[in-house]
Amino acid sequence: MKDRVRKIYRHAIDILEQVGIKLKHDRVLDIMQEHGVRIEGDLAFFTRKDIESWITNAPSSFTLHARNPEYDAVIGSDQINFTAGYGCPTVYELDGSAREARLSDYLRFAKLVHQCSHFAINGGILAQPSNVPAVLSHLIMTYAALMASDKCLMGLPGNEPQMRQIMELAAIVFGGREALKEKPQVLTMISTISPLLVDDMALSSILVAAEFNQPLIISPGPGAGTTGPIDLAGNMALATAEALACIVITQMIKPGVPVLFGLQCFGADLKTANVSIGSPAYAQMARHTAELARYLNLPSRCGGSNTDAVCVSPQSGYEGMLSLLTACQNKVNLIVQSTGVLDSFAAISYEKFIMDLEIIDMAKYYLDDFEISGNTLNLDLIKSVGPGGNFLTTMDTTEKCRTHSWTPRIGVRGNIDRRQALGNYYQNIQSTMSQMLDDYQQPQIDPAIRSELDNYMMSQGVDQKLLADIQELINS
């Protein structure tokens, strides 16, 4: 595998040296030129020396700090972290209908994430709410996540003023601007525009995140045969070139800022020219992404429970399992979009969210493996039962039945009416979700900090009634 990823890496360097990458931000171009990067108009050409001398400044792992230290998350090494769906503007219902996501959906997902032990990170674009002012949605989502959860905070990309607002809001919670700069506390994901273009928003996000010393996920996503070459090797080399350029830019702006090597390379449905996130091609490229990150000594991001299915179905299950298990087996450090995504990221589903939690449970159980020792091989127990006996009634089985046996939360087993099995499955999903929401309790926040957050939001143009609505939705 090392020889394979080395070839991809070397080809990525050839792309940056011979083709270059467009950077749509004058100040970033000036910074690159000051550091000796060859600039022609808005094209930047990075040499192998540029890349290899700067990329080593980025840490191989870091701790993302939460408001509640119990949820601090190590990003790197062999640690695997999950986050929920990200970026979907639409909610698909179980009956096949679709609707625009609303602020109530954002908060409902935030509460579910808070209740789930698989997640140490909350926030980001859990669902893009359509019923809030677009110019303020970045602030409203960040505020809503801070109110609903004290887990690590996923931020949002934006233009320079928007990014500053997010950082200033987070700084109120984390003890001020200087305290925010002291350690990683807001994780922001940026995307390039394939092929070989980084727009103003992504570069502005890099500038502000670097100023506040906050970590970045660099996440190019070319589709094989559409926005990238159809050959998967070429598609990965293109994505690697874009990621390397952004990582070097980040380190030139502020050496030591944590970055994740986060390729999100897709297959493509060439009948429609749409991306395909459920194909085996995606899983293949995710496996190579994890190995590339290790080769570069950087934390990795890829994977998720990805599917092209347009509803909760066998297809959404087997595609999601392939994608998520591939990421877990390859010890991807941050698996974004682990739950809820349908229709090639076009939508999110509550039922798929709960189903994906079961997939994560199964993947973790499988990868934890079983202990092989004198205690677990149980020769004395086997002797005592003997030929023709049974183990069901032994004290050993009684003592271990709740900890050693896989029991699904939503999966349907046993002697039931097969005509009712699917209905029982969906009922299990609904009852699991209802129980999680019933058990949710809003984390405490210092009233003085809450007041300062509210005052800041109103100073930025957010109506006081909307803040009250957020609190009401959290309590509902």
The H or E element spanning position 473 is helix 464-475
Residue 275 has pLDDT above 90, yes or no: no
Percent of the chain past pLDDT 90, that is, above it, reads: 94
For the four alpha carbons of 72, 125, 300 and 167, in that order, the dihedral sign comes to negative
Structure tokens at 149: 């959860």
Whole-number average pLDDT of the chain: 96
DSSP letter string, 218-241? E----BBTTTB-SSHHHHHHHHHH
Residue 69 CA, chain-centre distance (Å), reads 20
Q: How far apart are CA 39 and CA 20, in angstroms?
A: 9
Polymer length in residues for the chain: 476
> Can you give the pLDDT at residue 23?
98
Q: What is the pLDDT of residue 142?
A: 98
Bridge partners (DSSP) of residue 73 are 64
Q: Which residue's entry shows tokens 């046996």? A: 405
Q: Is the pTM of this model over 0.85?
A: yes
Tell me which residue has tokens 């040499």. Answer: 47
What are the tokens at 16? Answer: 């940056």
pLDDT at 386 over 90: yes
- The proportion of the chain whose per-residue pLDDT surpasses 70, expressed as a percent, equals 100
The closest of 251, 125, 255, 264 to 194, measured between CA atoms, is 264
Looking at CATH, the fold of the domain delimited by 57-368 is given as TIM Barrel (3.20.20)
Residues 476 and 108: their CA atoms lie apart, in Å, by: 9
pLDDT tens column, 58-93: 999 999 999 999 999 999 999 999 999 999 999 999
Average the pLDDT over 274-284 and give the result: 93
Q: How far is CA 64 from the centre of its chain?
A: 14
Query: For the chain, where do the domains classified as CATH 3.20.20.480 start and end?
Result: 57-368
Tens digit of each residue's pLDDT (9 = 90 or more) over 144-160:
999 999 999 999 999 99
